[in-house]
Chain A
Amino acid sequence: MRRCLFAGAVYAVLTMGVSAGEVSPTEVKYEDGAIAQSLTGTSGDPAAGREIVGDKSLGNCVACHAVTDLADVPFHGEIGPMLDGAGDRWTEAELRGIIANAKIMFEDSMMPSFYKTEGFIRPGNAYTGEAADDSFGPLLTAQQIEDVVAYLVTLKE
């Protein structure tokens, strides 16, 4: 659906709040755009990460990035660089930082911040066009970020 580019990103998990041991979006420590520490302490699942990167209702990363490994998912965008070899170009800590808030690594990047909850102009309630309400949370959960990192690390040339 054209009008809903990123439509349907799921919020269900967010209403449950941050579970114990998780680093909340406002507590994340960036160093040169990277995040050294895992956000959950539980290692990510690359298979789940692969799903999140390709799924329109989850990360929808392919809206902007092409990934050869995800050739089974139709329509990859060309806004950002191809993600092939991302695991060679970046460390795990850098990848975590880029996904959580790419604007720290890349000034003014067009890439959305997937683990951020503050500083938005007219934040909405998902894709309704209405104002955000109490259910507002980051685009991906801490564990989903870890899953995506675990997947990207496997992308070697």
Chain B
Amino acid sequence: MTFTRKALCGVAALAMSTGAGFAEPVDDTLVLNEEQTLVTRTTAPAHLEGVLSEIISGWHFRGTETRAMQTDDFDNPGMIFVEQAEEVWNTADGTEGKSCASCHEGSETMAGVRPVYPKWNEAAGEVRTLEMQINDCRENQMGAEPWKYTGGDMVNMTALISSVSRGMPVNVAIDGPAQSTWEKGKELYYTRTGQLELSCSNCHEDNYGNMIRADHLSQGQINGFPVYRLKNTRLNSAHDRFKGCIRDTRAETYAPGSDAFVALELYVASRGNGLSVEGPSVRN
């Protein structure tokens, strides 16, 4: 007995239409603080040709109340951590007695930074995430201890830096010296890991919009990171999310900040080129 893939897909589609009926991404517009309309759905970047035609923010896959929390800074619990980071921004630390503000002035000068990270750093000869750049400033400009990659201080600071770029389109470079890292990230994205043999693409490319048990699968975009999750009531970095998703394939995960995850972050970020920066966003 041979069933063609197509026939099976037909059965699946039938099952979907008789299902709960909330599987499609919600048709809604994200307006921030009643004044700024964010791009949450747009044409996919050229490198996704033949793979995805439209890219969609994870915001569209969440429930009405979760979506509403992100539309107003007073309702977005992630903004409390942004305020905490604002204080740290202005506080001197380390042997040089400097704060972030000593070199960069107000945190609003960071507008435009989040959308282009991870980014090639010519002097260091490496692709750097925002976290790596922050720790470079701490160690080499301030003479301060580096922060833990996914620790509270770090994720709060990335939330502050993201928040001042909200509404700007994600625009990471994937060519030039960043290309080999990007290729490596792409390979990871399509590798079926763990005992369940699942790749990012199995869930987030082939099945976004579908329910996997009680979870509504999104495209796994990272334009909204760091993400305030109602589940653990704190901000979560992209590498923490990657780790959780890989662990759920019954695999040995990679460490946050590892070369593998830096490459994966660049690749996943590039799949969102064109979506607005949303961080800190709200998810369940």
Q: What residues of chain A have their CB less than 8 Å away from a CB belonging to chain B? A: 2-7, 9, 56, 60, 62-64, 66, 74-82, 89-91, 94, 103, 106, 110, 112-113, 120-132, 136, 139
Q: How far is the CA of A91 from the CA of B247 in the complex (A)?
A: 34
* Residue in chain B with minimal CB distance to A80: B12
Chain B positions within 8 Å of A76 at CB level: 19, 211, 213
> What are 9 A-to-B residue pairs whose CB atoms are below 8 Å?
A2-B214, A60-B213, A78-B210, A80-B12, A82-B12, A121-B193, A121-B197, A122-B194, A123-B252
Chain B positions within 8 Å of A60 at CB level: 213
**B137 adjacent to chain A (CB < 8 Å):** no
* Residue in chain B with minimal CB distance to A7: B248
Whether the pair B197, A56 counts as a contact (CB closer than 8 A) is no
* Residue in chain A with minimal CB distance to B283: A2
Q: How far is the CA of A112 from the CA of B212 in the complex (A)?
A: 14
Whether the pair B195, A129 counts as a contact (CB closer than 8 A) is no
Whether the pair B212, A64 counts as a contact (CB closer than 8 A) is yes
Whether the pair B8, A94 counts as a contact (CB closer than 8 A) is no
Q: Beyond A3-B244, A6-B250, A90-B1, is A122–B193 a contact (Cβ under 8 Å)?
A: yes
Whether the pair A5, B15 counts as a contact (CB closer than 8 A) is no
Q: Which of B16, B193, B248 has the most CB of A within 10 A?
A: B248
Contact of B247 among A3, A56, A132 (CB under 8 A): A3
Whether the pair A120, B194 counts as a contact (CB closer than 8 A) is yes
* Residue in chain B with minimal CB distance to A116: B195
* Residue in chain B with minimal CB distance to A139: B195
Q: Beyond A3-B244, A94-B1, is A75–B252 a contact (Cβ under 8 Å)?
A: no
Whether the pair A75, B211 counts as a contact (CB closer than 8 A) is yes
Contact of B250 among A63, A94, A127 (CB under 8 A): A127
Whether the pair B244, A122 counts as a contact (CB closer than 8 A) is no
**B68 adjacent to chain A (CB < 8 Å):** no
Task: State which residues 2-37 of B face A: CB under 8 Å.
Answer: 3, 5, 8, 11-12, 14-16, 18-19, 23
Q: Beyond A75-B211, A121-B192, is A132–B11 a contact (Cβ under 8 Å)?
A: no
Q: How far is the CA of A2 from the CA of B231 in the complex (A)?
A: 8
Whether the pair A3, B202 counts as a contact (CB closer than 8 A) is no
* Residue in chain A with minimal CB distance to B213: A63
Chain B positions within 8 Å of A64 at CB level: 212-213
* Residue in chain B with minimal CB distance to A68: B18
A contact face: mostly helix, strand, loop, or mixed: loop
Chain B positions within 8 Å of A3 at CB level: 231, 244, 247-248
Given contacts A66-B15, A78-B16, 10 further A-B pairs with CB under 8 A are A75-B213, A79-B210, A120-B195, A121-B192, A122-B252, A123-B194, A123-B251, A125-B252, A129-B243, A132-B195
Contact of A113 among B12, B197, B206, B212 (CB under 8 A): B197
Whether the pair B194, A82 counts as a contact (CB closer than 8 A) is no
Per-residue A-contact encoding for B105-147, CB less than 8 Å = 1, 0 else: 0000000000000000000000000000000000000000000
Q: How far is the CA of A126 from the CA of B249 in the complex (A)?
A: 9
Q: How far is the CA of A21 from the CA of B14 in the complex (A)?
A: 41
Q: Beyond A127-B250, A129-B252, is A5–B194 a contact (Cβ under 8 Å)?
A: no
Chain A positions within 8 Å of B23 at CB level: 78
Whether the pair A122, B231 counts as a contact (CB closer than 8 A) is no
Chain A positions within 8 Å of B251 at CB level: 120-124, 129
Whether the pair A124, B247 counts as a contact (CB closer than 8 A) is yes
Contact of A129 among B18, B192, B246 (CB under 8 A): B246
Q: How far is the CA of A119 from the CA of B192 in the complex (A)?
A: 11
Whether the pair A6, B196 counts as a contact (CB closer than 8 A) is yes
CB of B221 to closest CB in A, whole Å: 17
Chain B positions within 8 Å of A123 at CB level: 194-195, 250-252
**B191 adjacent to chain A (CB < 8 Å):** yes
**B284 adjacent to chain A (CB < 8 Å):** yes
Q: Which of A66, A77, A128 has the most CB of B within 10 A?
A: A77
Q: Beyond A3-B244, A90-B1, A124-B252, is A78–B197 a contact (Cβ under 8 Å)?
A: no
